[in-house]
Structures are given as structure tokens and as C-alpha cells.
Amino acid sequence: MNSVDLAAFIKQHEIAAEIVHLEAATLTVADAAAVMGVAPEQIIKTVLFLADGEPVLAISNGTGRIAWKRLADYLGVSRRRLKTANAEKVQAVTGYVVGAVPPFGHKSKLRTIVETAVYEQEVVYGGGGEVDALMRVDTAVLRRVVGNETTKLSD
């Protein structure tokens, strides 16, 4: 899957989001923030975890680092039973390559947990389906699309 698939999902579900194509890949939060002219807190990361083998997405803002123990406790699994998905699994489950995973629009609907700090922003930029694309979305829209499951994920 790529940005064309994400754009089709956005259109089909009438989501107020925009895919922004960049001249080059932005491999870090700092790069993405600089290119977009926004604060690093407005860049979101979508990370696929496996909790007892079940896929779970965690969305955090660019300045936060997901605390594994905190996420494991929230999910009710031991820290040893929580793993980050490898690149092959990420693509198999979401349809997108690592570094391009959007917060929604995956092969199938995934349980999604959002860091509370993400919703402190009005607008965020996340994976746009390709490493040289970002998706701009208001956080109110993001919440409507991914659900209201939030917790403090970072230390």
C-alpha cells in the first residue's frame, strides 16, 4: 500500500485529512518538523506492537518515547509479552512500510492507543503512506477516526 491507497481511504471515509508529498524522505522527527515548519510535538509516530501476539498500534508525538512498561501495563500483559513488530510484520499487518505508516487506513482496523500528549496539539502530521509523504490531520478528526483510547505512553 502507498499514499494513493491512503488517499482513497481518506476520500471513501470522508476524512478531513491531507497528504503532503515531500521532495525527499524525512527519516527523523526533527527533519519532518523542519520541512513542515511545525513543532516536533506535531509530528506523530505510529508504531506497531504485538501484545501476546496481537497487533496494537501506539501513536505518540515526536518528542515522546513510548515507555514499554507503561504500554504493557495498560494492555494488561507482561513486559516480556510486548514486542515491536519487525519491518515484515509491519508491512503484512498495516500494508505500509516502516517510516510511512499512517495512523489509520490500514489493511484492517487495528486497536489503536494514542498518547494523551498527541491530543494537546490541534494539528498533527503522521505517516503519509510513503517515506516522502506526510498526512496532515486535525486531532479532533484523528480521534474520531481511530477512537478515544488514550493513555500516557511516554515517561
Q: What is the pLDDT of residues 42-69, one digit of tens each?
A: 999 999 999 999 999 999 998 888 998 9
What pLDDT, on a 0 to 100 scale, did the predictor assign at position 14? 96
Domain region containing 77? 3-151
Number of domains, the chain: 1
Q: Cell 519487525 identifies what position?
A: 86
Total H helices, total E strands in the chain: 5, 8
Using CB atoms within 10 A of its CB, is residue 48 exposed (0-12), middle (13-18) or buried (19+)?
buried
Check whether 83 has a pLDDT greater than 90: yes
| CATH code of 77's domain | 3.90.960.10
Q: What is the pLDDT of residues 93-147, one digit of tens each?
A: 999 999 899 999 999 999 999 999 999 999 999 999 998 999 999 999 999 999 9
